[in-house]
Structure 1
Amino acid sequence: MLDGVGGESGAGGAGFAAAPAAEADPAPRRGRAVPSYVAAEAETAPLPRITVSPPPFPPKTATRTPLSRIGDLPMRVVYRIAAAGLAIVVAAAAAVVLLVLRAQPGEAPSRPIAAPSAAPPSPASPVAPPTLAASPPPVSAPERTAMEDALDDPRVPGEPERAKLGKLPGKPARVAGRIIDRRSRVHLPRLGGPWKRAAASPFRTRQVLPAAKGAGHRALIVSCPVPIEVQDDLRDTALLAARWTLNHQPRGATLSWVASQPAKYGRVLAYRVKYQVKGEKRSSMAAVALVEPPKAAKPALVFVSIPDAQRSRWRDINTLISRIRPMR
């Protein structure tokens, strides 16, 4: 409907009255007001009763032990705990090893502690601490002498008795001159053929015979300063020197005394040496002469040994012993 001015009707236009409810459109459009019977029915419907159910109980969780919580720790803490445990185990093992070593047999026992006196100390004097009992000094075995060792040697038959050297078998060699041993400060004869001079080392002079088949060693005459410990008695020094000459005899050699006599120059000791060569019993005649030169630091030694295969040369030992002279 048009108003008097000819304008269109509006929702809030002036001069229009509201239409009565009875004249409303029987088919309302979407968004229009709800019919009155629906509203009345809604107002008379009973409200639903609201009930509040109690909250459910929380589920029971298993009680966690301290060991089960290790997994919650950071790895650096776990590593530190493991390192500390390893250090404790190593220290305990070292302590056990130390105790075992201390308990090993053979260790010197600890010295006993002296018991304190039964009488109480006087009030004026201080209490003295317990003192260690003085242990006796260790007793060392007496030191053996060279002579004791020589006399206990089964190769040496004790000390020789005094006896003069007699003439030995054979024909003596001629004396072709003399040999001067300036180091030993002694003169000795140079024997002619079949003797000849040879390289002296480790001695100072040496004379030898041709090698004899099956003899076991070569006949020789040598000189040098006495190579053993000098004793107070020249007879003892001669015995030690004779024992030392076994180093230049076949292995397993033993000796037996033949003569022990003084000489103008010192001492003479003659002996027989017995040994085996390829299972055959053999022997040598030998002698040592100790010479005491006036200005020498120690005596000189002249040693001669001739095997039984050259028995015809044993008389040369008599020639040698009689012609030795010390240097002045």
Structure 2
Amino acid sequence: MRVVYRGLAVAAAVAAVVAVAVVVVLPSEPDEVVAGPVTAPPAAPPSSGSAPPATPAAASSSAPRGTPSPGASLAPGYTAMEALYADPRVPRLTRAVKRMAPLSPGKRFVKDPRTGLAVVRLPGPWKSYGAAPFTTKQVLPKQRGTSLRGMFVTCPLPIMEQDSPRDTALLAARWTLNHHPKGSRITWLASQPVGRGWMLVYRVTYGKRTSRAAVVVMDGGMSKPGLAFVTVPDSQRKQWRDIGRVASGVRVLG
């Protein structure tokens, strides 16, 4: 009987070893969570206006370069202009957009040595105001029940300069949406070269309300071009006439 029990014990030990071996050899189950493709931030830009760092190898293979679908997240490697064209808030600038009739800017100017530009000093009710984070700033009075009010500022170009002054102005206009209510969209009203730069006038729509705005990008001889930006909400529409004076009045410091 001892021999029988000993034989059974040996058999059990061998079976346990085989079971362990089977457990070790069997492949593990695949992970249930599969990592998806890495995408860049949405088309809405940071305030710099520049595209994400270029890593072309990671670019999306689902759409050809230069034709990303509007509003889609952009893979790294897209240029600033491709990001602009994919942004549904900013329509294409077509030849149908007219030039603005020139207006007399007046005789009073504000000098901005940081940009190398001089801009119109607007009459009352406009007032100079603490400029930061800009380099010059003029504002309309605050209104009860809203934080929106007219603003006219200058600063060194806050976005990436492009080869074309027109393209640089387009990116600058897109950047100004950071200073309008959430959900704002642009409609172009005027576009034309000015001096050593480009000017754009546009309407900004947010819900049932609108603002009129303009940007002028101009080379003032500094390391970066200068930007002049004005916006006035429809609640202060009497000052919309000043937008044309601003756009016509940007000069290079002599």
1:138 Cα deviation after fit: 10
* Aligned with 1:286 (options 182, 205, 213): 213
1:248 Cα deviation after fit: 0.9
Determine the C-alpha separation between the residues in 2 that align with 1:222 and 1:258.
20
**Number of equivalenced pairs:** 216
Letter in 1 for 2:126: W
1:113-133 Cα shifts (integer Å, max 9, x gaps): xxxxxxxxxxxxxxxxxxxxx
User: RMSD across aligned C-alpha pairs, in angstroms?
Assistant: 3.6
Contact 1:271 1:287 in 2 (8 A): yes
Larger radius of gyration: 1
Provide closer, same or farther for how the CA distance between residues 214 and 293 of structure 1 changes in structure 2, counting only shifts above 3 A.
same
Write out aligned runs for 1:3-152 (5 A).
62=1, 64-67=3-6, 92-98=22-28, 100-101=29-30, 141=61, 142=65, 143-152=77-86
1:212 Cα deviation after fit: 2.9
* Aligned with 2:186 (options 255, 258, 261): 255
Provide closer, same or farther for how the CA distance between residues 216 and 90 of structure 1 changes in structure 2, counting only shifts above 3 A.
farther
Letter in 1 for 2:227: L
Higher mean alpha-carbon deviation, 205-214 vs 236-245, is at 205-214
Q: Tell me the TM-score normalized by structure 1.
A: 0.56
Determine the C-alpha separation between the residues in 1 that align with 2:59 and 2:187.
38
SS in 2 for 1:64: helix
Determine the C-alpha separation between the residues in 1 that align with 2:60 and 2:85.
22
Provide closer, same or farther for how the CA distance between residues 160 and 269 of structure 1 changes in structure 2, counting only shifts above 3 A.
farther
Pair 1:163 & 2:93 matched? no
Determine the C-alpha separation between the residues in 2 that align with 1:90 and 1:227.
65
Any gaps of 5 or more consecutive residues in structure 2? 35-56, 66-76
Any gaps of 5 or more consecutive residues in structure 1? 1-61, 71-80, 107-136
Contact 1:212 1:310 in 2 (8 A): no
Write out aligned runs for 1:143-222 (5 A).
143-161=77-95, 162-166=97-101, 177-213=108-144, 217-222=148-153
Name which structure has the greater RCO, CA cutoff 8 Å, separation 6+.
2
Provide closer, same or farther for how the CA distance between residues 226 and 89 of structure 1 changes in structure 2, counting only shifts above 3 A.
farther
Determine the C-alpha separation between the residues in 1 that align with 2:156 and 2:249.
18
Letter in 2 for 1:282: R
Percent of aligned pairs with the same amino acid: 40
Letter in 1 for 2:211: S
1:200 Cα deviation after fit: 2.0
Q: Equivalent residue for 1:323? A: 249
Letter in 2 for 1:64: V
Q: Equivalent residue for 1:234? A: 165
1:150 Cα deviation after fit: 1.5
